[in-house]
Amino acid sequence: MTSRVAAAIDAAKADGRGAFVGYLPLGYPDLQTSIDAAVALAENGADVLELGPPYSDPVMDGLVIQEATQAALAAGFRLRDTFTAVRAIADRVDVPILVMTYWNPVLQYGVDRFADDLVAAGGAGLITPDITPDSAPDWIAASERTGLDRVFLGAPTSTDERLRMIAAASTGFVYTVSTMGITGERAELDAAARTLVARLRTFGVDHACVGIGISTPAQVSAVLEYADGAIVGTALVRALRDGGVEALAAETRALTAGAGR
C-alpha cells in the first residue's frame, strides 16, 4: 500500500523544499479547540500532522507539552476522543495524520481495534516512541493488514544493528531523535542528528525526519540541509497556549518558511 506520509514528504521534495511535521496534543485546551488548531496547522503549511493523545506518564515530553497534556486529561479527555478528533480533522483538511502515542494506551485499547478505528477515522499511522520493532509484532501485523504507517524512533545512541532493524520496520519515515533527552526548545541542535541521518541512509532510509528541540525557522532550515523533514512541537504548543489558534497559525507560517514554503 502507498504511504500517504511518504507521499507528502516526496511532494515537498518535488517542490524543492523539506517537509514540515507539526505536533499538537489532542484535547488541549479542549477537544474542539485542538481540532481547530490541527486544521490551522495544516492550512498554514504543515505537510504532516502529528497528534498526541494525552498520557499520564509522558516520559519523552518536555514541560510545555506535559502541562498541556495534563490539562487535557484534567478536562476529561479519553482515548476514544482520539478517533473523534482525527475524523473531524480529516474531514476538513487533506494532510496525513499520524498519532503519536505511548504504547500502553494502544495495548489497553486493543492493538487491532485501535488500528481499525484509526483507519476508519482517516488516520495515516502511528509514531510509537516507547516501543521498538522487536517488541511490536502485533502492531507490525496490524499495520500491514490496515496499511497504516509505523514510525519508529532512531537515536544517536542506537547501535547499527538496531538502526538496521528500525530502518527495515519503519514506514512513512524514521523519527530521527536530534539529541538525547526530552522534547523542548534548545538554542543549538545536537550535531549528532546529522551523523544519525547519515547512518540511517546507509541502511536504506529514504525518509528521515528530525525532531526534539527544533523551535525556530533557522533550526528548521538547518535540519533540512540533510534531513527530509523537520518535526516541531513545543514552539507550536507554546503559541497555542499563549495566543490561541490565531497565534498558532502565525507561528506555523513562520516555521514553515524555514522549510522553504
Among 143, 233, 129, CA closest to 185? 233
pLDDT score, position 189: 59
Residue 10 to residue 18: CA distance in whole angstroms: 9
The CATH number that domain 2-256 falls under is 3.20.20.70
Sheet of 19-25, strands arranged across: 149-151, 125-127, 97-100, 48-52, 19-25, 229-232, 208-211, 174-177, 153-154
Residue among 10, 15, 47, 50 flagged as catalytic: 50
61 is catalytic: yes
Encode 90-116: b = buried (16+ Cβ within 10 Å), e = exposed.
beebebbbbbbbbbebbeebebeebbb
Residue among 61, 190, 228, 251 flagged as catalytic: 61
pTM of the model: 0.94
Among 20, 39, 6, CA closest to 260? 20
* pLDDT in single tens digits along all 261 residues of the chain: 689 999 999 999 999 999 999 999 999 999 999 999 999 999 999 999 999 999 866 555 678 888 999 999 999 999 999 999 999 999 999 999 999 999 999 999 999 999 999 999 999 999 999 999 999 999 999 999 999 999 999 998 899 999 999 999 999 999 999 764 544 445 455 678 899 999 999 999 999 999 988 899 999 999 999 999 999 999 999 999 999 999 999 999 999 998 888
CB 92 within 8 A of CB 52: no
Q: Give one word for 147, left, alpha or beta, with left for phi > 0 and alpha for psi -120 to 50.
A: left
Q: Over 95-157, what HEC string results?
A: CCEEEECCHHHHHHHCHHHHHHHHHHHCCCEEECCCCCHHHCHHHHHHHHHHCCEEECEECCC
Q: Where are the domains of the chain?
A: 2-256
CB 143 within 8 A of CB 131: no
CB 69 within 8 A of CB 55: yes
